[in-house]
């Protein structure tokens, strides 16, 4: 197969299967009311979230379990044997432990061959980064079939007391996956992308591991260690502006109008952030699925969870254009515009 970009036999990339794997455990706003000083009304109004899923850490439910569940089902839906995978990529910022990677464990548990397997950490932007990378690896001819998972169990880094309530209400756990495969139709796959990071904003959203992680030592407190620290208002402003900027830049790169995109598959962080993008570009509600009300912010899983929900609802069709979009800690943000 000639895989030279621009050559006569260019390859395309097809999403041939997807799936979701959520933990059974639920945490509703009413549950949170019992743990901290908050209210269903406050959370709903400020974020649009009603409930979220929570992995059962006490009984050993971890990121690898969710990731394996999602990839196993995606392979089944795609009709692909685990041994046909050439590479496994996992977007996560919450591996079970620093090593081994989630990818290595999933590949073992699914019975893949001894393929390359690795994790990519770009926080909530991780999945959008990773599918862009996977597209490039397939188009280059290096690999034919790549499994891409988004999986996170961030609830273990939340403080469910008044002290941590700013972040604790937002997040949930989950995983979703896709199987990508080389296609003879070169028009299929990524047509434009953006990947951005600005470490100047590192301390706007981070998980400290020691007191030296605090620039201002007076902000250090033992209770903050290993728990999400977030400057909610600063992240909100960053998200609203970068979300709009990256949509505009991606449309310009692709030379298409906002109305030519069939689905905006967006990271679910706050329904108000999504509303601002919809208003700015005149995107109708049916083109931007919001599931944050049921799942909260699931970090790297959020974007593929939206995609798979659309697939399950029969709304994803060949020939459509879909724009994957995310922003998150780092600070990071990015897009990946695909022709299906």
Instruction: Kindly report the number of other CB atoms within 10 A of residue 252's CB atom.
Output: 10
Is residue 38 at the binding interface for ligand UT7, with CB under 6 A as the rule? yes
CA distance 303 to 125: 9
CA 324 to chain CA centroid, Å, is 9
Member of 25, 116, 141, 166 binding ligand UT7 (CB under 6 A):
166
Using rule CB under 6 A, residue 169 touches ligand UT7 = yes
Site for ligand UT7 in 40-79 (CB under 6 A): 42, 46-47
Name the DSSP letter for residue 171.
Answer: B
Least CB distance from residue 327 to ligand UT7, whole Å? 6
Q: Work out which of 67, 75, 239, 323 binds ligand UT7, going by CB under 6 A.
A: 239
For residue 233, state whether it binds ligand UT7 (rule: CB under 6 A). Answer: yes
262: Cβ contacts below 8 Å, ≥ 6 apart: 287, 317, 320, 321, 322
Catalytic one among 104, 112, 124, 266? 124
Judged by CB under 6 A, which stretch of 55-63, 82-90, 130-138, 232-240 contacts ligand UT7? 232-240
Nearest distance, CB of residue 30 and ligand UT7, angstroms: 13
Q: Which is nearer to ligand UT7, 77 or 270 (CB)?
A: 270
50 assigned to active site: no
Q: Is 270 in the site for ligand UT7 (CB under 6 A)?
A: yes
* C-alpha span between 340 and 338 (Å, rounded): 6
- Contact segment (CB under 6 A) with ligand UT7 among 61-69, 140-148, 173-181, 234-242 equals 234-242
Q: What is the DSSP letter of 56?
A: -
Instruction: Write out the DSSP string of 200-242.
Output: GGGGGEE--SSGGG-SSGGG--GGGTTS-EE-HHHHHHHHHHH
26 with 53: CB under 8 angstroms? yes
Any idea which residues carry the catalytic annotation? 124, 267, 297
Residues forming contacts to ligand UT7 in the complex (CB under 6 A) are 38, 42, 46-47, 124, 165-166, 169, 230, 232-233, 235-236, 239, 269-270, 297, 328
């Amino acid at each position: 197969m000639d895989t030279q970009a621009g050559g006569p036999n260019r390859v395309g990339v097809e999403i041939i299967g997807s799936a979701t794997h959520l933990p059974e455990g639920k945490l509703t706003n009413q549950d949170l009311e019992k743990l901290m000083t908050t209210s269903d009304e406050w959370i709903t109004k400020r974020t649009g979230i009603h409930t979220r899923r929570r992995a059962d850490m006490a009984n050993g439910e971890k990121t690898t379990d969710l990731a394996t569940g999602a990839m196993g089902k995606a392979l089944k839906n795609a009709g692909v044997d685990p041994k046909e995978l050439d590479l496994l990529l996992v977007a996560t910022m919450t591996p079970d432990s620093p090593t081994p990677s989630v990818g290595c464990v999933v590949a073992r548990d699914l019975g893949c061959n001894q393929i390359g397997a690795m994790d990519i950490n770009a926080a909530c932007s991780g999945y959008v980064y990773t599918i862009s990378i996977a597209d490039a690896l397939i188009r280059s001819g290096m690999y034919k079939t790549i499994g891409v998972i988004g999986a996170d169990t961030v609830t273990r880094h939340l403080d469910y007391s008044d002290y941590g309530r700013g972040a604790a209400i937002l997040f949930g756990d989950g995983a979703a996956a896709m199987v990508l495969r080389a296609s003879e139709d070169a028009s299929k796959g990524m047509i434009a992308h953006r990947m951005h990071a600005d470490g100047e904003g590192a301390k706007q959203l981070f998980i400290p591991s020691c007191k030296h992680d605090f620039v201002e030592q007076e902000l250090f407190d033992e209770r903050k260690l290993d728990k999400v620290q977030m400057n909610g208002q600063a992240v909100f402003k960053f998200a609203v502006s970068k979300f709009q900027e990256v949509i505009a830049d991606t449309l310009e790169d692709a030379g298409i109008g906002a109305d030519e995109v069939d689905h905006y598959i967006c990271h679910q962080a706050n329904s108000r952030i999504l509303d601002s993008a919809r208003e700015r570009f005149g995107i109708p509600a049916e083109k931007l699925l919001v599931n944050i009300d049921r799942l909260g912010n699931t970090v790297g899983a959020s974007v593929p969870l939206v995609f798979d929900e659309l697939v399950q609802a029969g709304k994803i069709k060949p020939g459509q254009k879909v724009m994957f979009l995310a922003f998150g800690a780092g600070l990071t943000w990015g897009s990946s515009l695909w022709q299906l």
